[in-house]
Amino acid sequence: MRSLLLAVLAAYLIAAIHSILAFVNKRRTLQQVAEWSMAVGWVLHTGVLIDEWAVDGHYPLFGSRETLSFLAWALVTGYAIVLYRYGAQAVGAFAMPLICVLTFAAMLLGRARNPSAAAFSPTLLFPIHTTLLIFAYAAFFIVFMASVMYLLQERELKLKTFSAFFHRLPSLSTVNEIATHAAAVGLTLLTLGLVAGMFWNWSEHGKVWRNDPKEIFAALTWLLYFVLALYRSTANWRGRRAAWLGVLGFVLVLGTFLVAPLFGSYHVFGLALL
Amino acid sequence: MSIILIGVNHKTAPVEIRERLAFDDAACAAGLRALVDGEVVREGLIVSTCNRVEILSETANEQIDLGAGRVTQFLDTSGNLGPGFLKDHLYRHTDEEAVRHLFRVASSLDSMVVGEPQVLGQVRHAYSLAVEAGTAGRILNRLVHHTFRVAKRVRTETGIAASAVSISYMAVELGKKIFASLKGCTVMLIGAGEMAELSAKHLVNAGASRVMIANRTEAAARQLANQIGAATVVPFEELAEHLFEADLVICSTGAPDYVLTEEHVRKATARRRKRPTCLIDISVPRNIDPATAKVRNVFLFDIDDLENVISSNIREREREAERAELIVQSEVMQFQQSLRLMDVGPSIGAMREKFQDVARAELARQRKKLGPLTKEQEAAVESLLMSTVNKIAHPIINQMRRLYGTSDTDAAPSPTDLFDLEE
């Protein structure tokens, strides 16, 4: 199975390199190579996930290795949707390298035997909770990237000096639209994911909320994106301020992911990040 | 065969000479028919634009100088210039250099403004004239089609034409950067000057759906509105009330003070629900208060800003031109290779035939010794001979393709000499 994940990584690497080259060179053939190898990587990756599910007997989203791998897969899915809807190829030059790093890290960690995983939760609620959250975080990453692209270009337009980046990034209204839609999708997923988590918690432990650091971070994240969504829907265009919120929100997401476990959270299963 | 390109351009000849050489369509067709005699000059094409007059022709290898002389003479007489007058202005490229020059011209690398889009159309037109005149043959057809491909590659794979290098086109570029597409955008022109008109035309071509014109003298506004088509006239006094409808504002009046103040713009953006607005002020003295740049989601550009962006765009184009030269270089090599293969194709056929003839002749000579054979046996003997010959020829043909396709043909003996083939 490791060799298959290696093939996935190889495909993503090819996609990443060609995305970057296409970003610099604007060659259509490079972009096509990038998209095809990304598609191949995604199909193989889906195969890896299904296989792990079948072999290990539990939903392939439990330990940190599985989380990283699943997150990479969700990001590819998200980028593919952005590509399909907006043709924003520039996103790939930044998303694909990260996806490679995630996949590589997942491969390094290797497969840990996690006997508790299968017995951990008999209900469907737990995998639903984690899957929704992973996709929400992938969406927030897209919001983050679109927001950074917005801020970069807005700054250059205001300063009236255009760098080489300027000519290669999608237009202001495109990145604004990507950020708006991705934030809406992310917020919906996050809400559903949190609700699923609460239900699961209640069914297992009889409590909805435990004041766990991860829960607090997640609640803050939710609040922030809720404000962002509110902003965007009341005034169609809040350009810069909304973009800053998009960046800030992602910092909170990273906090949920990386910092919260340090405070000793019961969300840590083995090395789990979720 | 040899390709010769002789001509003048804006770098080698002043306009007084270029205008005397220029060909209109009729002169071009007549000239081509006079120049191309099918013997010395076998094919011909004339590219005539305001910046260049170039004649592309094809002759036999050993007649390069004769052909070049004919073309030069032709230019002398058609321009009514004395013999030798053009000597200092003409450039002459042959074969690989000629191919490279044509590729560079069509890709707009040889233009006064690098990356300008017209020249490809002019080459296309020149080619259609040559086709009509019947002077574009085997070689030029191939060359010109390859040229179109190169120009397209350069255009799509480099940013040579990506950024605006004229003030009137900057509005389109900024609009696209901010609104993704100009489709459905509303443009407001304040002042009905020439620059406003040019910008508006570019914007409408790029998809802007509505143009509003506000001018102090309404008659001039009305006249411009008629020229543009999809335009409405707004009374100058009600300018501020209509400002919120505009995505892009181009201001070029002769007013001595600000026509648009910060307050106007603030009110308009509030009504626009913070949708972005692009303000372009090309008037001197400025007509839009510079303080409006502070308003959120408003992007203000004055004439100096535009000039700065344009000069940085020109530098960007020059950088991209270097990448384009690499594309041209590799395409020149590809084209030269395809020409060499085209040369070698008939020789390969002749060689295979010659081998088969030898085999058949030998069979005929020895046939008696074989005695009577059935039809099947007869066919078997023939096919045995042919397949032996073909199998022997196969690696030789491959080797020839490789040899003549990639290396310098001069170094290798011609297949005609090598196998004693008759032309």
Structure confidence by residue, pLDDT tens digits, B270-326: 888 778 899 999 888 888 999 998 888 899 998 888 888 888 888 888 888 998 999
Q: Considering B295, B311, B327, which residue would you say is the last residue of a domain?
A: B311
Q: Considering A83, A105, A120, which residue would you say is the last residue of a domain?
A: A120
Residues of B in contact with A172 (CB under 8 A): 177-180, 276
Q: How confident is the model at residue A273 (pLDDT cuts 50, 70, 90)?
A: very low
What lies within 8 Å, CB to CB, of A257 at 6+ separation is A137, A273
Residues B141 and B187 in one domain: no
Residues A266 and A133 in one domain: yes
State the burial class of residue B205 (Cβ atoms within 10 Å of its Cβ: 0-12, 13-18, 19+): exposed
Q: How confident is the model at residue B405 (pLDDT cuts 50, 70, 90)?
A: low
CA distance B98 to chain A (A): 27
Structure tokens at A196: 């699923």
What tens digit of pLDDT does each residue of A131-189 get?
898 899 999 999 999 999 999 998 888 888 887 778 788 888 899 889 889 999 999 99
Say how far apart CA B321 and CA B48 lie, in whole Å: 23
Strand order of the β-sheet with B52-59 is B43-48, B52-59, B2-9, B91-94
Say how far apart CA B286 and CA B369 lie, in whole Å: 105
Residues B90 and B176 in one domain: no
Residues A211 and A231 in one domain: yes
Other CB atoms within 10 A of residue B227 CB: 12
Strand-pair partners of B93: B5
Evaluate whether B299 touches B271 at the Cβ level (below 8 Å): no
| β-strands B91-94, B43-48 pairing | unpaired
Residues A29 and A164 in one domain: no
For B181, the 3-state DSSP assignment is coil
Output the pLDDT for position A113: 57
User: Has residue A193 got a pLDDT over 50?
Assistant: yes
Q: Looking at B131-276, which runs of residues are DSSP E strands?
A: 186-190, 210-215, 231-235, 248-251
Q: What are phi and psi of B309, to 5 degrees?
A: -60, -40
Residues B151 and B219 in one domain: no
Q: How confident is the model at residue A238 (pLDDT cuts 50, 70, 90)?
A: low
Residues B81 and B218 in one domain: no
Nearest Cα residue to B172 out of B274, B269, B280, B276 = B280
Which of B177, B271, B295 is the best mutation test for A, with the most CBs of A within 10 A?
B177
Q: How confident is the model at residue B122 (pLDDT cuts 50, 70, 90)?
A: very high
Output the pLDDT for position A129: 86
Identify the domain containing residue A168 by its residue range.
Answer: 123-274
What lies within 8 Å, CB to CB, of A249 at 6+ separation is A140, A143, A144, A183, A221, A224, A225, A228
What tens digit of pLDDT does each residue of A5-49 get?
888 899 999 999 999 998 887 777 888 899 999 999 999 999 988
Q: What is the CATH number of the domain that holds B247?
A: 3.40.50.720
What tens digit of pLDDT does each residue of B345-403 get?
777 778 888 888 888 898 888 888 888 888 888 888 888 888 998 888 888 888 877 77
Residues B59 and B152 in one domain: yes
Evaluate whether A160 touches A186 at the Cβ level (below 8 Å): no
Domain total in chain B: 3
User: Has residue B406 got a pLDDT over 80?
Assistant: no
CA distance B152 to chain A (A): 12
Annotated catalytic residue B50: yes
**Cα dist from B384 to A35, B90, B152, B360, whole Å:** 51, 61, 50, 11
Say how far apart CA B180 and CA B99 lie, in whole Å: 38
Strand order of the β-sheet with B248-251 is B231-235, B210-215, B186-190, B248-251, B277-281, B298-302
Say how far apart CA A253 and CA A217 lie, in whole Å: 8
Output the pLDDT for position A35: 92
DSSP tag of B369: G
Residues A53 and A158 in one domain: no
Residue A209, sorted as left (phi over 0), alpha (psi -120 to 50) or beta, turns out to be beta
DSSP tag of B414: P
Evaluate whether A59 touches A269 at the Cβ level (below 8 Å): no
Q: What is the CATH number of the domain that holds B74?
A: 3.30.460.30
Residues A139 and A260 in one domain: yes
Residues A105 and A153 in one domain: no
Identify the domain containing residue B276 by its residue range.
Answer: 167-311
CA nearest to A173 within chain B? B179
What tens digit of pLDDT does each residue of A199-227 get?
888 887 777 777 777 788 888 889 988 98
Q: What are phi and psi of B85, to 5 degrees?
A: -60, -35
Evaluate whether B250 touches B171 at the Cβ level (below 8 Å): yes
Residues A109 and A49 in one domain: yes
Residues A149 and A222 in one domain: yes
**Which residue type, as a one-letter code, is found at position B295?**
V
More confident residue, A111 or A250: A250
Residues B109 and B152 in one domain: yes
**Cα dist from A69 to A109, A118, A137, whole Å:** 10, 18, 14
**Cα dist from B15 to B75, B81, B120, B247, B403, whole Å:** 16, 14, 21, 42, 46
Q: How confident is the model at residue A57 (pLDDT cuts 50, 70, 90)?
A: confident
Say how far apart CA A233 and CA B64 lie, in whole Å: 73
Longest dimension (CA), chain B: 113
Catalytic member of B50, B185, B251, B278: B50
Other CB atoms within 10 A of residue B423 CB: 6
Output the pLDDT for position A234: 73
Q: How confident is the model at residue A3 (pLDDT cuts 50, 70, 90)?
A: confident
Output the pLDDT for position B114: 86
Structure tokens at A101: 């790093």
User: Has residue A86 got a pLDDT over 60?
Assistant: yes
Say how far apart CA A16 and CA B168 lie, in whole Å: 38
**Cα dist from B344 to A129, B109, B354, B397, whole Å:** 69, 32, 15, 10
**In A, what residues contact B, Cβ < 8 A?**
25-28, 153, 157-158, 160-162, 164, 166-167, 170-174, 235-240
**Cα dist from A34 to A28, A79, B165, B343, whole Å:** 10, 12, 32, 38
Q: How confident is the model at residue B248 (pLDDT cuts 50, 70, 90)?
A: very high
Give the B window 280-309 contacts with A, CB below 8 Å: 293, 296-297, 299, 301, 305, 308-309
Give B194-218 as a DSSP string. HHHHHHHHHHHHTT--EEEEEESSH
Residues A144 and A255 in one domain: yes
**Cα dist from A206 to A127, A147, B118, whole Å:** 19, 40, 75
Residues A155 and A181 in one domain: yes
Quickly list H helices, A160-238: 172-205, 213-234
Residues B151 and B175 in one domain: no
Residues A56 and A10 in one domain: yes
Give A118-132 as a DSSP string. HHH--SSHHHHHHHH
Output the pLDDT for position B47: 93
Output the pLDDT for position B350: 81
> Considering the domain boundaries, does residue B306 fall inside one?
yes
Residues B156 and B172 in one domain: no
DSSP tag of B83: T
For B258, the 3-state DSSP assignment is coil
Evaluate whether A48 touches A61 at the Cβ level (below 8 Å): no
With an 8 Å Cβ cutoff, are A173 and B178 in contact?
yes
Q: Is the complex ipTM higher than 0.85?
A: no
**Which residue type, as a one-letter code, is found at position A83?**
L
Say how far apart CA B288 and CA B265 lie, in whole Å: 10
With an 8 Å Cβ cutoff, are A157 and B323 in contact?
no
Evaluate whether A60 touches A66 at the Cβ level (below 8 Å): yes
Q: Considering A120, A151, A170, which residue would you say is the last residue of a domain?
A: A120
More confident residue, A81 or A87: A81
More confident residue, B4 or B82: B4
- The answer to which of A29-43, A202-216, B59-73, B242-256 has the lowest mean pLDDT is A202-216
Q: How confident is the model at residue B56 (pLDDT cuts 50, 70, 90)?
A: very high
Residues A165 and A257 in one domain: yes
Evaluate whether B313 touches B165 at the Cβ level (below 8 Å): yes
Domain total in chain A: 2
CA distance B312 to chain A (A): 8
Q: Considering A97, A120, A143, which residue would you say is the last residue of a domain?
A: A120
B323 CB near a chain A CB, below 8 Å? yes
Evaluate whether B263 touches B298 at the Cβ level (below 8 Å): no
Residues B182 and B291 in one domain: yes
Say how far apart CA B332 and CA B344 lie, in whole Å: 19
Q: What is the pTM of this model?
A: 0.72
Output the pLDDT for position A272: 41
Mean residue pLDDT across chain B: 86
Other CB atoms within 10 A of residue A122 CB: 9
Q: How confident is the model at residue A269 (pLDDT cuts 50, 70, 90)?
A: very low
Q: What average pLDDT does range B401-422 have in this prediction?
A: 64
Q: What average pLDDT does range B49-76 have in this prediction?
A: 90
Residues B280 and B132 in one domain: no
Evaluate whether B168 touches B195 at the Cβ level (below 8 Å): yes
Say how far apart CA B11 and CA B111 lie, in whole Å: 9
With an 8 Å Cβ cutoff, are A172 and B163 in contact?
no
With an 8 Å Cβ cutoff, are B177 and A172 in contact?
yes
Output the pLDDT for position B238: 87
**What number of C-beta contacts closer than 8 Å exist between A and B?**
66
H or E stretch at B35 = helix B25-35
> Considering the domain boundaries, does residue B324 fall inside one?
no
Residues B51 and B184 in one domain: no
Residues B10 and B41 in one domain: yes
B178 CB near a chain A CB, below 8 Å? yes
Q: Considering B161, B190, B218, which residue would you say is the last residue of a domain?
A: B161
